[in-house]
Structure 1
Amino acid sequence: MGVSSRSAVAIHALTMLARWDDKSLTSAEIADSLASNPVLVRRILGSLRDAGLVWATEGRNGGWSLARPATQITLRDAYTAVEAGPVLSRHPHPPSDACEVGRNMQDLLDAEFRDAERALEERLSRTTIAHLVRQVLANERAAARRNH
């Protein structure tokens, strides 16, 4: 299974929760920012909750909040919470043993793909949600300066 959009939705939701850390946000508020469906957002938030990244409160002022500081949540945390299986798709069924390429390709690709996936995870581990919030705020300040 390849990468889906779940990672992007999860990272977006976590960044919103970190940006407005002083209040809980509803799945509808997060969905508005994503121009998406609140049901999809709730599913993603459920996976993030199961991974210990967010928590929810019910009731009148209920909503979602970060379960730990944004400085302690990496993009890898979000990715592993919502993505299942390897990033790069493997052969859907074993190739032919009667072919010299077929006999060797699966093992060769597995090694290459594992290395690429480790590199991806290492890179995602370097960026925190707090870092993304700082970038969002810096971009907004720069845009405000350009518009004045």
Structure 2
Amino acid sequence: MTQAQIRNIVCYMKRDSRLSAVLHALLHMAAAGTPLTSTALAECMRTNPVVVRRTMGLLRDAGLVVAARGHGGGWRLAADFEQVTLRQLHDALGEPALFAIGNRSERPECLVEQAVNAALDGAFADAEALLMQRFQSITLAELAAEFGRRHAAHAAGAPA
């Protein structure tokens, strides 16, 4: 199979975009500086407020956000932006699968397939460990700084 064929297959796989969506929401929350309602976050994320509440509930359970009711209420950050890592957010979301590819059969009788599974399992484990290590090294503050740089460049008319 060629690299182009592999890329085409990967493009059509179901992807879990919750981490990306949560990062988007948290950066909007930080930029706003005031609590944001589920409805406001849903508009930013182009989703339904129910999805926002469900997702933010997971972050609340992990101590990363809090919600206040009433006038001026909404979701706000509860954790130190400098300390929260992508790994913490990934964990708070229930450690969604990182890869959409896997073994054809988890308990094959065929010795060929057992050999294939062993090779794939090892490669998947190595890739996941590397990705989790990288996630541990990226903080929300770093993402906010990158957003700030891109925003300033955009405001100045320069390409981001």
TM-score range, shorter chain: 0.7 to 0.9
Q: What is the match of residue 101 of structure 1?
A: 112
Which aligned pairs between 1:1-148 and structure 2 lie closer than 5 A? 3-21=15-33, 23-88=34-99, 89-91=101-103, 93-97=105-109, 99-146=110-157
- Cα distance in 1 for partners of 2:139, 2:81 equals 7
| Percent of residue pairs bearing the same amino acid type | 35
Between the two proteins, the alignment pairs up a number of residues equal to: 144
Task: Tell me how large the CA RMSD over aligned residues is.
Answer: 2.0
Name structure 1 gaps, 5 residues minimum. none
1:21-79 Cα distance to aligned partner (Å, 9 max, x none): 3x111111111111221111111111111111111111111111111111111112112
- Cα distance in 1 for partners of 2:29, 2:85 equals 14
1:98-133 Cα distance to aligned partner (Å, 9 max, x none): x32212222322221111111111111221111111
Q: 1:92 to 1:80 in 2, by over 3 A?
A: farther
Q: 1:4 to 1:83 in 2, by over 3 A?
A: farther
SS at match of 1:120: helix
- Cα distance in 2 for partners of 1:60, 1:50 equals 23
> So what's the TM-score if we normalise by structure 1?
0.86
Larger RCO: 1 or 2 (CA < 8 Å, sep 6+) = 1
Shift of the alpha carbon at 1:85? 4.8
